[in-house]
Amino acid sequence: MMNHFEIKKVTPSDIPLLLSLIKELAEYEKLSHEVVATEEILQQSFFGANANTEAILGFCDQKPAAFAIYFYNFSSFLGRRGIYLEDLYVKETMRGKGLGEKMLRHIAKIAKEKNCGRLEWSVLNWNTPAIQFYQRMGAKPMDEWTVYRVTGEALLRLASED
């Protein structure tokens, strides 16, 4: 039984824990082969000179239970920035206790405090439990949009072509 749940912003000393949770998420999503992040990369991404990413950790009875990574984007139609939720993860043994809802509500409060116009994220099509959870929270799928991505060699090639 959960006695106490606390959410805190990631600090530099939390990076090893964050990386281990990222690897757990990747394993759950069957994407472990795509994880190239290191502690050094995360230190730069969260605390370096050009840092633009933030994260929170959720602790249940002082034990790591969840994390979320997010960054600010911008909506030209709204004329305001928004928050893009890159990852929201609750450890498998901690699911069903309302922790995901608490994490999502915490980020929504950040969006409200920062006067953001929206909070958005992507979800894998096969992840039915996550989809159902998000819909219970009031999220709507953006069926008319398709996400495109350029990475690796394709990104390098695109950047070098005139």
Q: What is the DSSP string of 99-138?
A: HHHHHHHHHHHHHHHTT-S-EEE---TT-HHHHHHHHHTT
Local confidence band at 154 (pLDDT 50, 70, 90 cut-offs): very high
Its pTM stands at 0.92
pLDDT in tens, 21-46: 999 999 999 999 999 999 999 999 99
Local confidence band at 161 (pLDDT 50, 70, 90 cut-offs): confident
How many structural domains compose the chain?
1
The pLDDT of residue 93: 95
Q: Please report where in the chains the tokens 């999503």 appear, as a residue.
A: 29
The pLDDT of residue 30: 93
Question: Which structural domain, as residue segments, surrounds residue 151?
Answer: 5-160
Q: Of residues 70, 84, 134, 148, which has the active-site annotation?
A: 134
Q: Look up 89 and say whether it is catalytic.
A: no
pLDDT in tens, 43-60: 999 999 999 999 999 999
Q: Tokens in use for 10?
A: 């990631």
| Strand runs labelled E in the chain | 5-9, 53-60, 63-75, 80-90, 119-121
- CATH number, domain of 79, equals 3.40.630.30
d(CA 22, CA 31): 11
Overall average pLDDT of the 74-78 stretch = 96
| Cα diameter, the chain | 59
The pLDDT of residue 2: 59
